[in-house]
A and B are shown apart, each in its own frame.
Chain A
Amino acid sequence: MERFLDAVFLGLSSGAIYALVALSLVVVFRGTGHLNFAQGEMATLSAYIAWVFYDMGVHLIIAALIGMAFGALLGGATEVALVRPLEKKSPLAVFVALITLFLGINALTTGIWGAPPDEQIDSLFPNDPEDFWRIGGGVWRDRDIGALAVTLVITALLFLLFKRTRFGLAMRGVASNAESARLVGVPTSRVLIGSWAIAGAIAALAAVIVAGNQGQVTPIIMVSIFVYGAAAATLGGLDSPGGAVIGGLLIGVIENLAAEYQEEWIGQEMKLGVALLVIFVVLLVKPSGLFGTAKVERV
């Protein structure tokens, strides 16, 4: 039982990070139909910015907020400068440009901060060896609870944004029918910039949490997490924020349980494979993902 709970708690915390990345992907995908392949690297760069300020003596929470603001700016700028002009040419051009951006930012962060910095970045949550709770015999560390709590709060905020605000209604409108949204007077370009900015801030937060847990920012902190996040978004349904969160948590828990109970066969090295297998099976049965909308339309 302890073993099981340990794996579940660990899974929920890594799953929470996947969920944040998945949320950022879903927010952009709903509005534009693009999967932002550069999202992980954009978040890494944002985490570096947060670390730079933290290193200058700024309080960690303020530094994290600065990192999120930078992520939002970077997201909005990407939409305006890269995606929008290319989108008119072809969707494939956007795809290629985002891959290029991924490589470009990775080269940039490696070039500037290639050698891991000696200065460390703290976790946003209590992270000393004695900061944990014992629940049913399992160990649940404060920082892992913190990551999960942040994810749930962000999800709730997004839900309120979508369901309760005028801007959220506009976002849903653009996602559902962009031309009609323009015809009712929604300034679609501002909605798209807003979506990319929100996504950038969420992903930046994820990267700051990851960096804090590892003690430092490195150019590759988000590479495999992006893959997990994209997988989580696909599993949950690319247009469903709730699905993204559940998808992320599911993948986190499944891979950690698999690694825990099949140490010989799977272990830490092969756990991504298990997650991908689950996704493959789900998509075979339900191509729009667990909670994605298969379009309802009567003819």
Chain B
Amino acid sequence: MTTVDDDAYVSELGPQAVAAEPAAAATLLHVADLRAGYGPVLVLHNVSLSVGEGEVVVVLGANGAGKTTTMRAISGTIPRMGEVDFAGRSILKASPDAIVRAGIAQVPQGRGTFPELSVEDNLRIGAYTQRGGGVDEDVSRWFDTFPRLAERKTQKAGSLSGGEQQMLAIARALMSRPRLLLCDEPSQGLAPLITKELFAIIGDLSREQGIAVLLVEQNANLAMKIADRVYLLETGHIVASGNAEAIAADDSIRKAYLGY
């Protein structure tokens, strides 16, 4: 079992949460000993995780565990220390735009759209790093995938419903043709039915397009359904990890995160 040795939670987890080795696929994202925070406050103390090519990895954590900080540290929008390798290269010193160009796109938490821009412009700005054509083709491709966005393409993004905005944020992230999609709590503020639909879309995208997904969530039940592997994040530490079935089978984890 891959747990952080200096942590008291280890003993509570029991031996069930085993077999958490990275998937057979080649490692796409490798994060080790990641530390990050805001000013003098360190939020992440020791985060190590990996995402394989085409894999869906879910990081579960409560409020304040450091989920959003993890996303920001990977996408380079806050200072970070440790190891962050993507496709075999260190991106620790890379700027956010260089990281997007390398193939990582983030769907930010909450309303991450450009509210004053039209739906179509939201997609186009998502292709900002794409040099050379193909943008028009990508726009129509994602409009085909998300017909509800196509119906509203001239509308301002701020006038869309929460679920539509979340879809727009995902479509926009896909415009940069990423190999890895970071999703920061896509369920936040959405009705359960819409959340379910959204997770189904993310799962399909990964399966059909071969895009790897790293998704952080509080909403464990739905997220686990699309996960290949799961990490548990508590107060800036990864405390456990395993494949989705093993984590779901663990009594103490199930009580703490799934609530039954």
Contacts and interface: CB of A to CB of B under 8 A. Distances in A.
Interface in B116-146: 116-117, 121, 124-126, 128-129
Given A296-B158, A296-B159, A176 B115 contact: yes
Given A172-B121, A173-B117, A177-B115, A184 B129 contact: yes
A25 interface: no
A166 B117 CA distance: 14
A298 B159 contact: yes
Interface string A145-188: 00000000000000000000010011011011101111111110
A177 B158 CA distance: 11
B77 A182 contact: yes
Contact of B116 (A166, A169, A182, A293): A293
A183 B115 contact: no
A173 B129 CA distance: 14
B115 A170 contact: no
A296 to B, nearest CB: 4
- Most B Cβ at <10 Å: residue of A181, A182, A295: A182
A269 interface: no
Interface string B139-171: 000000000000000001011111000000000
Contacts of A297: 111, 115, 158
Interface residues on A, range: 20 to 34
A181 B100 contact: no
Interface in B193-248: none
Nearest to A185: B100
B114 A180 contact: yes
Contacts of A299: 162
B116 A176 contact: yes
B46 interface: no
Given A169-B125, A297-B158, A187 B97 contact: yes
A170 B128 contact: yes
B77 A298 contact: no
A141 to B, nearest CB: 39
A170 B128 CA distance: 8
B160 A298 contact: yes
A299 B129 CA distance: 30
Contact of A182 (B97, B158, B161): B97
Given A296-B156, A298-B161, A183 B108 contact: yes
Given A177-B113, A184-B176, A298-B160, 15 more contacts: A169-B124, A170-B128, A177-B112, A180-B114, A181-B114, A181-B125, A182-B77, A182-B97, A183-B100, A184-B175, A293-B116, A295-B116, A296-B116, A297-B111, A298-B162
Interface of B: 75, 77, 95-97, 99-101, 105-106, 108, 111-117, 121, 124-126, 128-129, 156, 158-162, 172-173, 175-176
